[in-house]
Chain A
């Protein structure tokens, strides 16, 4: 089967750092993507890792360890606008994405 596990909820305060973990078990793996979705909105792409290591894009970083089937999204200098759902997704054959259930991040003042 295919499964991705991520925490359902995370709460943090403005200015803090938060890490959202994702473990996966899929048949076929080409990379791990992260998407952000605000309430009622379209998912938007944040980051992608095909190889082990850390990818940094501004305040957001993403990490992948293929040997551990594990990745995480790191959000720094949290802002209120970062309150949203965050999804990890395995890039599979044909470019299709296999999504986790999402982590709802609440940023408090």
Chain B
């Protein structure tokens, strides 16, 4: 595709429900990153994929958060038993090979609101 796409663009859920957020990276990009941005804040790293493997999950806030990537392409971030503090914009980015100097291309994000 032309760029990184994410769905849904907005999600409102009730506390305690599970949500799934989807990211489609740029075609051919092997590296994929998930970040979280709370209102008026910087981006917080969550997890990084190289292909289908996740060598760095250090940013996942709790065991309620998990992510997977299949076919070296689409990734899903799942939040179980959502809490109000999970409300944020979840951003996905991809880069060609995950090299240190490579540009990361960001998607438009999913705005999650937990009531």
Contact = CB atoms under 8 A, between A and B. Distances in A.
Interaction A to B: yes
Nearest to B33: A96
B103 A96 contact: no
Given A42-B109, A43-B91, A97 B104 contact: yes
Contacts of A100: 42
B101 A48 contact: yes
A76 B92 CA distance: 30
B41 interface: yes
A95 B104 contact: yes
Contacts of A42: 4, 91, 106-109
B106 A43 contact: yes
A99 B44 CA distance: 7
Given A42-B106, A43-B91, A96-B48, A102 B100 contact: no
Interface residues of B, number: 30
Nearest to B100: A30
Contact of A101 (B33, B42, B108): B42
Contacts of A95: 31, 33, 48, 95, 98-100, 102, 104
A97 B107 CA distance: 15
Contacts of B48: 94-96
B108 A41 contact: yes
B43 to A, nearest CB: 4
B37 to A, nearest CB: 9
Interface of A: 4, 30-31, 41-45, 48, 50, 87, 89, 91, 93-102
Interface of B: 4, 31, 33, 35, 40-45, 48, 50, 55-56, 59, 91, 93, 95, 98-109
Q: Closest 6 A-B residue pairs measured CB to CB?
A: A99-B42, A42-B106, A99-B43, A30-B100, A95-B98, A101-B42
